[in-house]
Amino acid sequence: MTIENISRNKSFGGWHKQYSHRSSSLNCDMRFAIYLPPQTLAGEKVPVLYWLSGLTCSDENFMQKAGAQRIAAELGIAIVAPDTSPRGDDVADDPDSYDLGKGAGFYVNATQAPWQQHYRMYDYVVSELPALIEELFPVTGQRAIAGHSMGGHGALTIAMHNPDRYSSVSAFSPICNPMTSPWGVKALTSYLGGRDQWLQYDASELMKTATEFVPALVDQGKDDQFFEAELKPDTLSAAAKTSGYPLQLQLHEGYDHSYYFIASFIEQHLRFHAGYLKTNGDTA
């Protein structure tokens, strides 16, 4: 695989780097960021946390705003942040909407025109990107996954579909029940068509019937402006009770949907993942 290094910055003894590469899943050039902790400079291979960002974001938001590098350096965890959608002049878009098209891939495999040619973010995150990371960087086959908002939806659904690939999953302010939220209905209708295809990408519906479990941590601010209409954490809590899913759902007074919230609790999330990454062994 051929990749191009775009930038590099020393951080807490490790390196934050950006790369571009040609994606076969998405049929376009893609960019991702990776933080390699200082342990890798000493020849160690480390596990990876994949971070999925939310609407309108790119690979840069989390890496620049969350303050995760200090704890990742201490724990010896690499962080990989892909972009949130395919990009390029020939990639379909809805220029009048922030919640559909570029910056809004929703981590699904689109089946409807004009989206199906490029919008296969599920395959990119689950298969293509990890294969590239594990071939070219000093990492093990141990993986955890996390995300925010649209990315929290992606992290939860991807983990539940692939319990053999991820040791743990966490999310900040995830879209918990996209089949009933305006963001979700718009995206799922456009990318997938009829409602019979939506359930596979709805975290609450998947959690309700789950029989294989990936330990999950979810944090939600109670002053989040999207709490009621878009995020619906109560549906996820009810689903976990139905199936006995190992979900820790924590609500926080005063916190909103911003990266100030994420930065306040990211250390807890990284330590949560570190415990499972250290004990679950190598996964394929």
The catalytic residue positions are: 149, 224, 257
Taking the C-alpha atoms of residue 10 and residue 238, their distance in angstroms, rounded to an integer, is 43
CB 61 within 8 A of CB 18: no
Taking the C-alpha atoms of residue 114 and residue 93, their distance in angstroms, rounded to an integer, is 9
Distances in Å between the Cα of 137 and the Cα atoms of 18, 44, 182, 273 are 13, 11, 39, 20
CB 17 within 8 A of CB 24: no
CB 77 within 8 A of CB 274: yes
Residue type at 155 in one-letter notation? A
Residues 6+ apart with CB under 8 A from 276: 144, 167, 168, 215
| Closest to 133 in 3D by CA, of 271, 42, 33, 7 | 33
Q: Count of H helices and E strands in the chain?
A: 9, 9
Taking the C-alpha atoms of residue 183 and residue 191, their distance in angstroms, rounded to an integer, is 12
> Which stretches of the chain are DSSP H helices?
60-65, 69-75, 121-123, 129-136, 150-161, 182-192, 203-208, 233-243, 259-279
